[in-house]
Amino acid sequence: MKKKSLRRRPGSFLLIFFLTASSAGLLFFRDLPGFFKKKAELSSKIRNRTLLFDEKSCFAAGRSGGLFSWIIKGGKRRLDQERDFIKKGFSGKFLVKEEKGGLSVSYRKINLLEVKFLQVGLVAVLLDDAGNSRKDIERFMNLEIPLTFSILPNERYTSELDSFINSRGYEVFLHQPMEPRSYPKEDPGKGSLFVGMKEDEIERIVEKNLSRVPHARGVNNHMGSRFTEWSPGMKSFLKILKKEKLVFIDSYTSPRTRGYALAVELGLPAWKNQYFLDNIAEKEAVRKVLSRVREHAEREGFAAVIGHTHRRATYEALKEEKELFLKSGTQFVFMSELLEETEEEEKR
C-alpha cells in the first residue's frame, strides 16, 4: 500500500503566506490610529505649519481602508506638521511627500490620501499705552487669547501693571517714548529719547525705563517718527536691547524709520508693525482692519499688529472677530513667539 504523499500543493504555500501576511497587516493597521495619535500629540508641541485633514477626504480614505478614520472623530482635527516626521514618512512604512500646496500619503505604491496644507496664520497683537488703568488690561484679558501689553515707563501704575500682567501669564513689553516730528506740540512724555542725545544719555534713560518694567520681554517705540529716522541714536538704543537680550518691534510710525533695518544689521531679533488696528477708534473700522489682518496672516503666514489698551472699540472688535480667526486656523501668539517664527521662516 502506497504512502500518501506529504507534498503540499503549490497553491497551499501561497494561501498560508497570504493568510500570514494578512494577519500581520491587520495587526499593523490596527495599531496605526494609536501610532498617529502619539505622533500628533508629540507634534502638537511644535509651533509650525499646521496640517488640516479635510473631512471629506478622511471619510473617503476611511471607506477605502479605515486608516485615517480616527482623525475625524468629532469633526476636523488639526495636527501640527513636524517637518522631520514628514520627510521620514510614517514609521518608515508610509511614504509622505510634501508637494506644492499639499501632501500625498501612500503605502508603498498605493495612494491613500491627499491633503492640502492650511497655511496657518500667526497673529501677534501688541497693545500700547498701558500704565494708567488696570481695568483696561483686565478687559482685554477676558478675550482669553495671547496678548502682549506694552507699558509706558513713567505712568501711575507702571510697576504694578508690569507685575500683574506677568503674573497672569501675558507678555510684557516696554513702550519706549521717542521724539515725534510733531514735538513739542505732542510730548512723548517722561523717559523719552530725543534726536541729538549722546550715547551714554540714551543708555541711562533706557536702562532706567527697563528697571521700571523688569518683566519686559521686548521693546517697541512710543511715537518716535523723528527719532527712529536718526540712525546714530537708534543704533545706540538697539545695542542696549541686544545687551539685555530683548527683542524689538518697530512701531513703524514713520515710513523712513531706521529701526528694523538697523536691528537686523546688529543681529537683534526684530520685526515691524504691519497694521495699526485703531487709527479710527470705531468698532466697525477696527473690524475691517482685522479682516485684512486675517487675510494677510493666511496669505503670508504671520502678521504683527498694534492696538491700544484704552480704546474700547479695539476690544469689542477683537471680541467679535476672534472666532473667525480661530475657525480659519489662525492662531494668536505673543509678539516674541511671532519673532521666533519669522526667524525660522528666514532660515528655511
Residue 250's nearest CA partner among 304, 195, 293 is 304
Fold of 122-347: TIM Barrel (3.20.20)
Q: At 9, phi and psi to the nearest 5?
A: -65, 145
Per-residue pLDDT of the chain (348 residues; tens, 9 = 90+): 444 444 555 556 555 555 555 554 444 444 444 444 444 443 333 233 333 333 333 332 322 232 332 232 222 333 333 333 333 333 333 444 444 444 444 444 444 444 443 446 799 999 999 999 999 999 999 999 999 999 999 999 999 999 999 999 999 999 999 999 999 999 999 999 999 999 999 999 999 999 999 999 999 999 999 999 999 999 999 999 999 999 999 999 999 999 999 999 999 999 999 999 999 999 999 999 999 999 998 888 889 999 999 999 999 999 999 999 988 778 899 999 999 877 765 655
| pTM exceeding 0.95 | no
Calpha distance 187→223 (Å, rounded): 9
> How many Cβ atoms are within 10 Å of 341's Cβ, its own excluded?
18
Calpha distance 116→106 (Å, rounded): 15
Q: Where are the domains of the chain?
A: 22-118, 122-347
